[in-house]
Amino acid sequence: MTNEARLREQICELARSMFERGLTGGSTGNISARTDDGGLLVSPTGTSFGRLDPGRLSRFDKTGKLIDGDKPTKEMPLHAAFYETRSTAGAVVHLHSCHAVALSMMPDVNEEDFLPPLTPYGIMKLGRVKLLPFYLPGDPAMGEAIRGLAGKRAAVMLANHGPVVAGKDVEAACNAIEELEDTARLAMLTRGHHPRALTDDQIQALVTKFDVEWDA
Ligand SMILES: O=C(O)[C@@H](O)C(=O)COP(=O)(O)O
Ligand SMILES: [Zn+2]
């Protein structure tokens, strides 16, 4: 099996796993990954994460030209902006995960640190998560918003829509976006109960020990 064939299988398998666990429903969400030749494999528009077909993923060459496969996600500008601004990005995932979307609607949420520092893994896997405003799905302005972050954030939350996370590869991006949803779930569950969050010293210790991108 070629590396590309393995990558196609992995994209579809991880997408299906997230769908089956209710992390994104219907035909929501999109996923992309870099190929060895600098191109991209991308989920087609209107497809369900539960039923992605490895042979029908949209394939782009390294210049951004669509080579074959089905019509790509309408969120290509969003995905492309992550690859352009983060040289370490090997994959990008977007979900409509319920608790993250709910948290994005809360009136007092911090736009610079969308997730409260509740557990170590949220900090280690995501760094600081920026809350972006609401955009219409497919609006290329989302790509401009990502470019405006100059590669400093691996994860953003689109208000009233869903999270988007870049990782070094498909597995890392999927693990990180699952952590985003879990942390948002904890935040919603503990909302109004004054949970004890991690202290600044604990956060700094994590950032240092696990080399987390945290300054942005
Ligand atoms: O919310 C949307 O419409 C998109 O962001 C989405 O999740 C699914 O769109 P496609 O990837 O074009 O199917
Ligand atoms: Zn979406």
* pLDDT 10s digits, 53-64: 999 999 999 999
Specify if 128 maps to a domain: yes
Percent of the chain at pLDDT above 70?
100
Provide the CATH number for the domain around residue 167: 3.40.225.10
Specify if 132 maps to a domain: yes
Note the ligand closest to the C-alpha atom of 163. 2
In the predicted model, what is the mean pLDDT of residues 28-43? Answer: 98
pLDDT at 198 exceeding the cut of 70: yes
pLDDT at 216 exceeding the cut of 90: no
Specify if 214 maps to a domain: no
Beta-strand pair 155-158/66-68: unpaired
Specify if 215 maps to a domain: no
Residues whose beta carbon lies within 6 Å of some atom of ligand 1: 27-30, 45-46, 73-75, 94, 96, 137
Beta-strand pair 58-60/155-158: unpaired
ipTM score assigned to the predicted complex: 0.99
Out of 13-22, 50-59, 175-184, 206-215, which region has the weakest mean confidence (pLDDT)?
206-215
* Total number of domains constituting the chain: 1
Count CB atoms within 10 A of the CB of residue 107: 4
In the predicted model, what is the mean pLDDT of residues 83-105? Answer: 98
Count how many Cα atoms sit within 13 Å of the Cα of residue 148 in the half-sphere of its side chain. Answer: 9
pLDDT, position 215: 76
Specify if 216 maps to a domain: no
- DSSP 8-class letter at 193: S
Specify if 201 maps to a domain: yes
Q: List the domain range (segments joined by +) for residue 185.
A: 3-209
Q: Out of 74, 93, 136, 160, give the residue to mutate to test ligand 1, the one with the largest number of ligand atoms within 8 Å of its CB.
A: 74
Contacts 24+ apart (CB under 8 A), 16-22: 16/49, 16/50, 16/51, 16/52, 18/49, 18/95, 18/174, 18/178, 19/48, 19/49, 19/50, 20/50, 22/98
